[in-house]
Amino acid sequence: MSWGTELWDQFDSLDKHTQWGIDFLERYAKFVKERIEIEQNYAKQLRNLVKKYCPKRSSKDEEPRFTSCIAFFNILNELNDYAGQREVVAEEMAHRVYGELMRYAHDLKTERKMHLQEGRKAQQYLDMCWKQMDNSKKKFERECREAEKAQQSYERLDNDTNATKADVEKAKQQLNLRTHMADENKNEYAAQLQNFNGEQHKHFYVVIPQIYKQLQEMDERRTIKLSECYRGFADSERKVIPIISKCLEGMILAAKSVDERRDSQMVVDSFKSGFEPPGDFPFEDYSQHIYRTISDGTISASKQESGKMDAKTTVGKAKGKLWLFGKKPKGPALEDFSHLPPEQRRKKLQQRIDELNRELQKESDQKDALNKMKDVYEKNPQMGDPGSLQPKLAETMNNIDRLRMEIHKNEAWLSEVEGKTGGRGDRRHSSDINHLVTQGRESPEGSYTDDANQEVRGPPQQHGHHSEFDDEFEDDDPLPAIGHCKAIYPFDGHNEGTLAMKEGEVLYIIEEDKGDGWTRARRQNGEEGYVPTSYIDVTLEKNSKGAVTYI
């Protein structure tokens, strides 16, 4: 099937069809371009999404690395790789499909224009041949009519008896002339007709079929190119499917890595304070309180002035102390982490000791390497000067001494914390497990202080000297009771200046909470100290100044 034989008379139709083919090619190229833009924008939006939700934290203050968080971060990484593969798809389409289509469309336009120009030239040449033949035909026809007229004129004069011989001779000469011209035009017309028929046969059986064949081949190549671009369009994405599948598998593995048990354990490790939970409520003996109030009533008025003064003095000293519970810190964290609860302090100290040991090992390895290098220089002076290594050796030794001092200091703090927690029942976990710790969290009963001027102190050391609390409680006369309280939770009172109490125990209130979270109380045996306000139910006497009932 050939266009040259089947469509010999459809030049204009083929002109429109080839133009439509190029337009369709350019339309598909536009489609590919828009698809590329979609892929690029999709990849860009995915990268922006990953960037938006990626963790933004410094190395010094990281949040707990829960398995669910780690899985989400891994999913973000896989999604970022997925976005990269979308960019690869866009680049492959742009290079292999869109760019190739635009170059081919340009070449196709040039080739089509050339073939159509050849067809038009062939048609113009055939038209010219036809005009020449038609002109010779018309001229032959005209000469024939003139010859017929000359013959009729000659016959009329020859039959006319009145016509002269000269007129008859003249008419005969005119007839011969017209007949000769008619014969010449006849021959010219025959030659032009033969030439036109030959050119027409050549036009429709040689020239036009050749031109149409070239147009057909061009159109078929366009169709093949479209087929190749369709395949390349699909291959651009099929090539990245294995990598995309790996990204999706990575997301599935990240989802499978979520361990709720481990996350729960991390919550315990991150927020465990190490404090003992409250014990049972004791029996409340209100009759002793009544008898005590009656017996102390005679001296309450006489020592009210001194009581107020002592309370102010005590509160003033107490505010300077660093209590077990307090407000969130406003300043930087303390070096020994004493602003943290015991368990968290132990973890932080153990973590710091491990880091210092790693640094010490690195410095020791560096010192050994320098010593070996120094020995080599001493044995082979041409390799280097041993004295040039002395400053570096001295610096390394100084670093080793500094790190050892730091380790010793932190181990002393760690021993102090472990001694405290061991006295509470050795509730801590192994120090080999290091987790990230949040600071400034509230305990169920109150808040431990973060203040730069406050820290958690351990039980008073027995060194034969008195603490500030010993001085505070060495008054000759006891302060008057302004109310009583009932212990809601037990309190061990290991810190100096505090008073241990059992759950349900009834104590006398001798000084209200001044806003620092502590209330000064006294037992029936006269032992005094501070207890957490959140651990007790306080009832003040109605006749005392500023009496308030805390529930």
Q: What pLDDT digit, counting tens, does each position of 382-418 carry?
A: 877 888 888 888 899 999 988 998 898 888 888 887 7
* Average pLDDT estimate for 80-104: 93
Among residues 223, 238, 263, the one where a domain terminates is 263
Instruction: Answer with the one of 421, 449, 473 that is the final residue of a domain.
Output: 421
Indicate whether 100 and 241 sit together in one domain: yes
Q: Residue 447: beta bridge partners?
A: 442
Co-location of 126 and 245 in the same domain? yes
Strand order in the sheet with 506-511: 528-532, 518-522, 506-511, 483-487, 536-540
72-84 in b/e burial notation, b at 16+ Cβ within 10 A? bbbbbbbbbebbb
Which residue is it, tokens 């991150």?
270
| pLDDT tens-place string over residues 223-281 | 999 999 999 999 998 999 999 999 999 999 999 999 999 988 888 887 777 777 777 87
pLDDT at 129 over 50: yes
What does the pLDDT read at residue 168?
82
Same domain, 407 and 492: no
Does a structural domain hold residue 427?
Answer: no
CB 421 within 8 A of CB 274: yes
Confidence of residue 478 (pLDDT cuts 50, 70, 90): low
| Strands (E) located in 222-365 | none
DSSP annotation of 386: G
Q: Is 383 exposed, middle or buried (0-12, 13-18, 19+ CB in 10 A)?
A: exposed
- Exposed e or buried b for every residue in 306-317, given b needs 16+ CB within 10 A? ebeebbeebbee
In terms of average pLDDT, the best of 328-337, 342-351, 453-462, 529-538 is 529-538
Q: What is the CATH number of the domain that holds 522?
A: 2.30.30.40
Q: Is residue 314 part of a domain?
A: no
Query: 317-322 contacts: CB < 8 A, separation 24 or more?
Result: 317/468, 317/472, 318/497, 318/514, 318/516, 318/518, 318/520, 318/530, 319/514, 319/516, 320/453, 321/454, 321/457, 321/468, 321/497, 322/449, 322/451, 322/453, 322/454, 322/455, 322/456, 322/457
Task: Tell me whether residue 373 is in a domain.
Answer: yes
Same domain, 496 and 355: no
What pLDDT sits at residue 290?
Answer: 62
The domain of 410 spans 342-421
What integer best gives the mean pLDDT of the chain? 78
Whether 323 has a pLDDT exceeding 50, the answer reads no
Q: Which residue has the higher pLDDT, 383 or 128?
A: 128
pLDDT of residue 57: 65
Cα three-residue angle 521-523-524, rounded to 5 degrees: 140
Q: Where a domain ends, among 233, 263, 293?
A: 263
Sign of the four-CA dihedral 238, 244, 248, 253: positive
Gap between the Cα atoms of 134 and 144, Å rounded: 15
Residues 397 and 522 reside in one and the same domain? no
Number of domains in the chain: 3
Residue 285 lies in a domain: no
Q: Does any domain span residue 324?
A: no
Highest mean pLDDT among 143-152, 489-498, 535-544: 143-152
- The three-state secondary structure class of 530 is strand
Q: Please indicate, yes or no, whether residues 115 and 33 belong to a single structural domain of this protein.
A: yes
